[in-house]
């Protein structure tokens, strides 16, 4: 951690994206509330988040190709500038002609696309500015920033929304602007690795092919897609029930506060957990940590109960994701980083846009408590996939798979690499 603090470029990236993550978390929290206020419909509220996820997933694969072809710093700054312009448009509409649900949903879609462009590019940039032996710590810090944003973003967004509808949107626009400014301070050369040009289709196949040739990647690809769908649907369903029950935005925001707090604690503990446990064991533990979430929130539809259940399930998430992420990055050649990261994220998150819609449909169709039971049972079934997989359980501790690692132009070691993205990673 001390070495990372002395790493200027990583620190600039981390601070800038922590600010931007906070603004984005506020917007994702208030979007369903604003949509519900404009329409009175839980399905429209769910659509706001679903469209954001559609935009995110839709840009991942093109972003992976661009990350390996184009200057990564220019791409990140372009994404930040676009996000700022989108949120400024919402503020202007709110203060003049009036905000419409169509405008809100369009920005949700396009801001998701800018986030999808940014994500694999930033991951590739981290691989450039951070040494191999610090990757797990760096990704633990990135997990921490996500949970810090969850900790602060919900309450702050709810408080600002109670003052004025446009206020949290204006703060998010400012966060994109600050991110753009801080990215300008990165010193490292983030231009792509020189290689023979090829078609977009060929380059996408190379990213997916690298994943598909490794058993652990294949298993985690299936499980993470199911887990992201089911756990996010469970989370969103719990929040929708609180909205329907008439709890104040600040009370509902407490759910994200608790989740963020336990996520931060989990990120602090992550480096020690990654070193102590086998990476495969951590993955299995993460898979089962979400299963008990449904039981208490079926019985008590109260913000305190929902917050405690979801927060407990999230504690191991940072360690699992940082360990797997570092393992995947360390074994991926430099000229494939963008495409492998994007392909993996796309596969694991492709079902996530359906999570809010699944939650809204189940809530409308069979009611809150039965819907939670269904999602809890399906989450347990999905957890059996990594549990029963030898390729997952056999992945060793980082001391075995850390440097020396492959560099550009060298052969990969004969070890089955892995990777997945976190549930609740939107």
pLDDT, tens digit, for every residue of 54-86? 888 778 878 877 777 778 888 888 988 999 999
Domains defined for the chain, CATH in brackets: 2-185+198-401 (1.20.1250.20)
Residue 232 structure tokens = 């996010």
How far is residue 146's CA from residue 425's CA, in Å, rounded to a whole number? 8
- Ranking 266-280, 299-313, 335-349, 366-380 by mean pLDDT, the lowest is 335-349
pLDDT digits (tens, 9 = 90+) for 258-279: 777 787 888 788 778 887 888 7
Vertex 126: Cα angle to 121 and 132 (nearest 5): 135
**From the CB of residue 299, how many other CB atoms can be counted at a distance below 10 Å?**
11
**In whole angstroms, what is the distance from residue 149 CA to residue 28 CA?**
11
pTM for this prediction? 0.66
277 φ/ψ sector (left φ>0, alpha ψ -120 to 50, else beta) = beta
- Predicted confidence (pLDDT) per residue in 369-409, tens digit: 888 888 888 888 988 988 888 877 877 777 666 554 333 33
Residue 39: C-alpha distances to residues 8, 102, 237, 249 (Å): 46, 11, 18, 17
| Tokens 């404009």, residue located | 38
Distance CA 355, CA 376 (A): 14
Contacts of 410 (CB under 8 A, 6+ apart): none
């Amino acid at each position: 951690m001390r070495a990372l603090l002395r790493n200027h470029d990583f620190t600039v990236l981390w601070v800038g994206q922590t600010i931007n993550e906070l603004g984005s978390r506020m917007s994702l929290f208030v979007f369903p509330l604003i949509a519900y206020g404009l329409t009175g419909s839980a399905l429209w509220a769910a659509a706001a988040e679903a469209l954001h996820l559609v935009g995110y997933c839709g840009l991942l694969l093109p972003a992976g190709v661009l990350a390996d072809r184009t200057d990564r710093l220019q791409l990140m700054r372009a994404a930040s500038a676009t996000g700022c312009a989108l949120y400024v448009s919402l503020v202007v509409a709110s203060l003049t002609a009036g905000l419409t649900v169509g405008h809100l949903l369009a920005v949700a879609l396009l801001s998701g696309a800018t986030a999808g462009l940014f994500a694999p590019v930033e991951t590739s940039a981290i691989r450039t500015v951070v040494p191999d032996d610090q990757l797990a710590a760096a990704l633990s810090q990135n997990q921490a920033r996500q949970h810090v944003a969850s900790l602060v973003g919900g309450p702050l967004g709810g408080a600002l929304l109670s003052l004025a509808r446009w206020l949290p949107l204006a703060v998010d626009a400012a966060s994109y602007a600050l991110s753009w400014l801080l990215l300008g301070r990165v010193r490292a050369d983030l231009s792509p690795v020189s290689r023979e040009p090829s078609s977009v289709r060929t380059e996408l196949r190379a990213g997916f092919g690298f994943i598909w040739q490794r058993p652990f990647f294949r298993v985690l690809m299936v499980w993470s897609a199911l887990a992201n769908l089911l756990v996010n649907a469970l989370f969103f369903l719990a929040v929708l029930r609180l909205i329907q029950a008439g709890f104040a935005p600040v009370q509902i925001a407490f759910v994200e506060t608790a989740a963020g707090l336990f996520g931060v604690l989990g990120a602090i503990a992550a480096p020690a957990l990654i070193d102590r446990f086998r990476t495969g064991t951590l993955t299995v533990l993460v898979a089962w940590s979400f299963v008990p979430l449904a039981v208490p929130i079926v019985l008590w539809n109260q913000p305190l109960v929902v917050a405690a259940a979801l927060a407990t399930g999230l504690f191991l998430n940072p360690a699992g994701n940082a360990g797997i992420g570092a393992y995947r990055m360390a074994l991926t050649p430099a000229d494939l980083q963008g495409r492998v990261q994007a392909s993996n994220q796309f596969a694991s998150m492709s079902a996530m846009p359906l999570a809010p819609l699944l939650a809204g449909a189940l809530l409308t169709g069979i009611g809150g408590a039965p819907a939670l039971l269904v999602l809890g049972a399906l989450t347990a079934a999905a957890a059996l996939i990594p549990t029963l997989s030898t390729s997952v359980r056999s992945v060793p501790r980082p001391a075995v798979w850390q440097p020396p690692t492959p560099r550009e132009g060298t052969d990969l070691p004969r070890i089955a690499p892995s990777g997945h993205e976190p549930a609740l990673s939107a």
